[in-house]
Amino acid sequence: MVRYQPDRVNYKWSIDMQTRLLDNAGGHLNNSLFYAFYEHAVARFCADNGVAYGNTQYGRLILKSSTEYLAPVHGYPDPVTIGLGVRKLGRSSIDFEFGVFQGEGPAKAVGYATHVFMDKNAKKPCEIPAELRSALEETLISPTTPTSIAKL
């Protein structure tokens, strides 16, 4: 089986993140850190596009998430780059894909997460704010780009 291993060009938005000394676990990053990286990337993307973390109107719930580890990712002092793309954009939900890069070459890991936007006051799903939706549309990954996880 050939595994999907994207390159940086698959993602139109990315963020560089510094690893910390305490992130090292046996010479590589612990798997729990990947989810923190994904959440930081989404929070930064949303803040950069009109929906700041901690705002009083909207919230996001993560319905499901997964990661495929393709190669070791080393800890401190080596930074990582998280590429963010959208696989599917619904009325209130977003299927994200994340590429984890370190150094040159293809992704060392690929993550997936489904988020749903919530109206904090009504405690119900709500439409993704228009300004953010427009930015998310810019990051859509072509439906012909393969994925290693057929269904999220």
Q: How many distinct structural domains can be found in the chain?
A: 1
Is 129 a member of any domain?
Answer: yes
- Placement of tokens 């599917």 in the chain: 88
Residue 147 lies in a domain: no
**CATH assignment of the domain containing 97:** 3.10.129.10
Q: Can the peptide bond before residue 77 be classed as cis, meaning omega within 30 degrees of 0?
A: yes
Residue appearing with tokens 């984890």: 100
Q: How many CB atoms lie within 10 A of CB 15?
A: 16
In tens, the pLDDT along 56-98 reads 889 999 999 999 999 999 988 899 999 999 999 999 999 999 9
Q: The domain containing residue 55 runs over which residues?
A: 8-138
pTM of the model: 0.90
Q: 3-state SS of the chain: helix, strand, coil percent to 5?
A: 20, 35, 45
Structure tokens belonging to residue 96: 């994200």
| Residue 145 belongs to some domain of the structure | no
Q: Are 13 and 45 in contact (CB under 8 A)?
A: yes
| SS3 (DSSP) at 94 | strand
pLDDT digits (tens, 9 = 90+) for 91-142: 999 999 999 999 999 999 999 999 999 999 999 999 999 999 999 999 999 8
